[in-house]
Structure 1
Amino acid sequence: MKASWARQHGFSSGDLNGFLGLVVDNLSIMAFLATALIGIFGFPADIVFLRMFPGTTFGVLLGNLAYTAMARRLARQSGREDVTAMPLGLDAPTSIGMALLVLGPAFLHFRQAGLDTHAAGVATWELGMAALVIMGVLKFVLSFFGGMVQRHVPRAGLLGSIAGIALVLMGFLPLVEILKVPVVGFAGLGVVLYALVARARMPWNVPGVLVAFVVGALLYYVLGPLGWLGHGYQPPAAWQWRFALPVPTLQWLQGIPAAVPYLPLILPFGLLMVVGGINVTESARAAGDDYRTRDILLVEALATLVAGFCGGVAQTTPYIGQPSYKAMGARSGYTLLTGIVIGLGGVFGYLSNLVELVPLSVLAPILVFVAIGITVQAFEATPMRYAAAVVFSFFPAIARMVTIKLSDPAYVAPEHFQALFTDQSHGMPELAVITILGNGFIITSMIWASFLVALIDGRTMRACAILLLGGALSLFGIIHSVQPSGGIYAPWLIEDASRLRVWQFAGAYMVLAAVLMLLSVASGSHKRTSTDEQRSN
């Protein structure tokens, strides 16, 4: 009788495994978001837990409820009981990117401008809300044009840009956190690789993510008090009662001016999730669950918008692992349970307590695995002849990671960084080159990969057009901003020394386009290009 009731209401024995895996995925991302803001940038914890978390988790709740309803509707229409809901959660690359590239640097900027810690935290929170609303609006609009985006931006550009984020922000930086407490972190990483990369069977079919989580936590809390982890062990914080409702607010409007300089990051974050949502829907369709792509994208966009209006700072997205959840026997119960647990956790505060209780060295292995998966997918889902374009798209992300470390006051004093950036004694200083290359790196990665794909296809004139677009974007700092903060600008309004760098980078794209045009005409390859373009049309 109980089994019959469970099947009737969309629950199966596999939903427990799906629920545990999806909850841990979301918890790991929230933990990194909080740890990065509080631990690295000195952000006020009460703003993270009482203002950012409730709205962020509310978006997860609404999105999972909608996907649960969509799965049950599909099950009724198809007459099948094995329909698996689309999993939804916080997007790992862009959530980590928001913490390290937008929220953290903005908080330091507000502090340097003279605001006290609390006021700077509130201003940064308003910026985060504004950024999320902007991404939500963009995703809502693009959900009607997702196919057009896929046709005009090569897969190597889309997947390469997000793989670059995954490799350096989700992979390398969490790997550093793992090796800060190597006895704990490396064991957890090994279990993740054993279960999820080598695909070894876990005892009693327990999700590998959960096993890694338990192994890491046991090692940390058993060996830590014994002194075997050195300074890597921190006693758990006292459990605190935190209650905060995700109340809609218009405070995000105050954050729009501060969000404008970060648009070269914010807009690509939204664009990548639209394309990701399309790919995820295709993946679910291949696994047997035919969801309407536009419905999946609209739910994702609306969940992000609502989260932004209610104080959230990290966007939701459907996860690529729907076929994996289907293979473990999950149906629609796991998304319902995940939405409720995550959503209420932000309201009643038990998620923030779990974040404080579980060290990053225990959760970071999950992020490293996701980074590996995203990077591998960039090569697997792209024809082999475009592999060079995928690799080429990684370099701007690497430059951005180096800039993050070098601009950290813990390593380089702000005044020393500024002096190295502006030094003109030996041409353009190396630090300036690295920083300018990393500014706007997501769009740069798309431009570079798309340009190289066009060259590989023999479409030289298309490659030149992409280069001219890159030059135009460079003029306004959308890519290669010459400001250390990465802000956008009008080139005629900046100081002379910086204006010269603007023209150097913009000119580089334009000169290369001219050179390629001449080579194409001289070699006669423009004829093949024209023919290829006619065929593609």
Structure 2
Amino acid sequence: MPASKHRWFVPGDLNGFFGLVVDNLSILGFIAAALVGIFAMPADVVFQRMFPGTAFGVLVGNLVYTVMARRLAAKTGRDDVTAMPLGLDAPTSIGMALLVLGPAFVAFRQGGMEDDAAAIATWQLGAASLVVMGALKFVLSFFGDAVTRIAPRAALLGSIAGIALVLMGFLPLVETFRSPVVGFVTLGLLLYVLFAKGRLPVRLPGVLVAFLVGTALYYGLGLVGLGAPGFALPQGAALHVAIPWPSLAFVEGLPATVPYLPLLLPFGLLMVVGGINVSESARAAGDDYRTRDILLAEAFSTLVAGVCGGVAQTTPYIGQPAYKHMGARSGYTLLTGLFVGIGGMLGVISGLVQWLPLAVLAPIIVYVAIDITVQAFQATPSKHAAAMVLGFLPSVAYLVAIKAGNPAWIAPEQFARLATTVDGHGLPELAVILALGNGFIITSMLWISTVVAMIDGRLLRAAVCLLVAAALALFGLIHSVDPRGGIYLPWELQGLPAVVMGQFVGAYVVLAAVLGLLSLQKPQVGAAAPTGGAGADQEPSGM
């Protein structure tokens, strides 16, 4: 069937549109809250310089993914092809705000700059950071298909399921229950219309109805004094036109990126790994996009955002099967791209970020997290379930590290003391948590691949996975002993950080040696031959 005969919009696209827009709005809301609320950056720079370029990257990426979906539909003759959702990446956007942009703004001010000048310099640094990460992602995009062929499906899906359950599920659930009546009612309605496929008395998209009910509850209860403590009407933002024209602003920010490269390079690498995983997730749901093309589109949209003044990188979201279950096809990414992109230029997005309560935005992310986790178990061999559950645990460490590193919870000096105090029972507990959380996506993939190989009787393959992990841990690509998650040269470390690094590397090497020795055993008579999982199509052949 020619692409022109495929419908541009179906009813499910409205559900997908509202869900994807909410994802992006929630991340933009966090960036604004961090930069303006925590670091006191001038709001006009955030809303009129950072947001338009960031939103334009979302527009470009979603347009590209819409075209890819329509081409796949035309090629296969199917009407149920769902576009890959694209938006702002939550973990690295949080990292950019809290670890790069905010501290840089403070440093510029301490260096003698006025607030406005410091904010402009920070904006230029953010744009340059996106160009650096986009360039890295572009180069690494050409290796995505090879990783997909090598890594077992359990590793690709299990690693993102851990992110979904722990970070996308738990953290938004906390926000949901900060206004319990509003959040729980919104979440319940979403589960009713999306999981239970329940009917509503009005002919409107179920996701929209849930948002309208939740928003009405939030402001209605708040105005009569029955809302959650701290309720206040936002001041709102005036509409303004800020066209994200391409510029060389990022060039002026490039020198300032050098101290942050140990953070920016892992941020870009994590998005490549995540893009590989979500491509496999979409493939498991029935939409066979080429991994390289998904990654190239992601890199291109990030580069465009950086050149146009954006400060948060784009990524394909891990909820493509969830949007498919909503009934979305290719129209929802087109609508999302246009709404976020044009709304970012006109100031609409800035206003919505301030007016939509988090208790209403968070439940849709909880739904997507549940759906992703369910798919990971359904699309992989049941015998690999234990490997995937193990792969969830690095995400738990990252979650604890995020909360423990919040200076509003633990004073920085107390945090440093906890991370360096030895109690005679091993490495400092907080130091271990930080190391387990840094590089958690790659750690999860390697752990799952190792256990899958053990289950399948491929002990040499498992040993190779462990040696790869040891090499990455040596340079801080996983288990970084830098509290910010940066990379380093191992011979530059001293004291406790060197000990922690050496212990983690040694653990991988010793276990690899043990598995290598175990592989020398003679096979038991009558034992089943090693398999690749639930069929040759599930995993590549290997050692």
Give me the TM-score of the superposition, normalised by structure 2.
Answer: 0.84
Residues 43 and 156 of structure 1, relative CA distance in 2, 3 Å threshold: farther
**Contact 1:41/1:107 (CA < 8 Å) preserved in 2?**
no
1:400 alignment partner in structure 2? 398
Distance in 2, matches of 1:369 and 1:397, equals 18
2:258 alignment partner in structure 1? 257
**Contact 1:185/1:361 (CA < 8 Å) preserved in 2?**
yes
1:105 alignment partner in structure 2? 99
2:242 alignment partner in structure 1? 244
Q: Report the secondary structure of 1:215's partner residue.
A: helix
Q: Show the 5 A alignment for 1:466-481.
A: 466-481=465-480
Q: Does 1:517 pair with 2:516?
A: yes
2:301 alignment partner in structure 1? 303
Residue 335 of structure 1 and its aligned partner are, at CA, apart by: 4.0
What is the letter of the counterpart of residue 253 of structure 1?
L
1:27 alignment partner in structure 2? 25
Distance in 2, matches of 1:46 and 1:346, equals 13
1:436 alignment partner in structure 2? 435
Q: Report the secondary structure of 2:229's partner residue.
A: helix
Q: Report the secondary structure of 1:486's partner residue.
A: coil
Q: Show the 5 A alignment for 1:130-529.
A: 130-248=128-246, 249=248, 250-251=250-251, 253-262=254-263, 263-277=265-279, 279-280=281-282, 283=285, 285=287, 295-312=293-310, 313-317=312-316, 320-321=319-320, 328=327, 334-426=332-424, 427-522=426-521
What is the letter of the counterpart of residue 260 of structure 1?
L
Residue 26 of structure 1 and its aligned partner are, at CA, apart by: 3.4
Residues 494 and 222 of structure 1, relative CA distance in 2, 3 Å threshold: same
1:90 alignment partner in structure 2? 87
Structure 1 unaligned runs (5+)? 1-5
After TM superposition, the structure 1 stretch with the greater mean CA deviation from structure 2, 313-322 or 195-204, is: 313-322
Distance in 2, matches of 1:74 and 1:460, equals 39
| Cα deviations by residue, 1:107-158 (Å, 9 ceiling, x for unpaired) | 4544675745767755664554445434434544454443321111222222
| Cα deviations by residue, 1:403-448 (Å, 9 ceiling, x for unpaired) | 1111111111111111221223534221111112212212211121
What is the letter of the counterpart of residue 274 of structure 2?
L
**Contact 2:284/2:379 (CA < 8 Å) preserved in 1?**
no
What is the letter of the counterpart of residue 189 of structure 1?
L
Residue 34 of structure 1 and its aligned partner are, at CA, apart by: 3.4
After TM superposition, the structure 1 stretch with the greater mean CA deviation from structure 2, 24-33 or 170-179, is: 24-33
Residues 192 and 416 of structure 1, relative CA distance in 2, 3 Å threshold: same
Distance in 2, matches of 1:467 and 1:127, equals 37
Residue 201 of structure 1 and its aligned partner are, at CA, apart by: 2.7
Residue 255 of structure 1 and its aligned partner are, at CA, apart by: 4.9
Structure 2 unaligned runs (5+)? 533-539
Distance in 2, matches of 1:17 and 1:258, equals 42
Distance in 1, matches of 2:255 and 2:479, equals 27
Distance in 2, matches of 1:447 and 1:339, equals 34
Q: Report the secondary structure of 2:519's partner residue.
A: helix
| Cα deviations by residue, 1:19-72 (Å, 9 ceiling, x for unpaired) | 445434433443344345545665553343223321122122223333445566
| Cα deviations by residue, 1:471-527 (Å, 9 ceiling, x for unpaired) | 1211111111222222211111122332222211111111111222223325658x9
After TM superposition, the structure 1 stretch with the greater mean CA deviation from structure 2, 490-499 or 101-110, is: 101-110
After TM superposition, the structure 1 stretch with the greater mean CA deviation from structure 2, 482-491 or 445-454, is: 482-491
1:63 alignment partner in structure 2? 61
Residues 14 and 449 of structure 1, relative CA distance in 2, 3 Å threshold: closer
After TM superposition, the structure 1 stretch with the greater mean CA deviation from structure 2, 306-315 or 392-401, is: 306-315
Give me the TM-score of the superposition, normalised by structure 1.
Answer: 0.85
Residue 461 of structure 1 and its aligned partner are, at CA, apart by: 0.9
Residue 188 of structure 1 and its aligned partner are, at CA, apart by: 1.0
Total equivalences in the alignment: 522
Distance in 2, matches of 1:406 and 1:436, equals 13
Q: Does 1:50 pair with 2:48?
A: yes
| Identity percentage of aligned residues | 52
Residues 489 and 115 of structure 1, relative CA distance in 2, 3 Å threshold: farther
After TM superposition, the structure 1 stretch with the greater mean CA deviation from structure 2, 273-282 or 299-308, is: 273-282
Residues 173 and 19 of structure 1, relative CA distance in 2, 3 Å threshold: closer
Distance in 1, matches of 2:379 and 2:71, equals 30
More helix by share: 1
What is the letter of the counterpart of residue 490 of structure 2?
P
**Contact 2:56/2:344 (CA < 8 Å) preserved in 1?**
yes
Residues 38 and 364 of structure 1, relative CA distance in 2, 3 Å threshold: farther
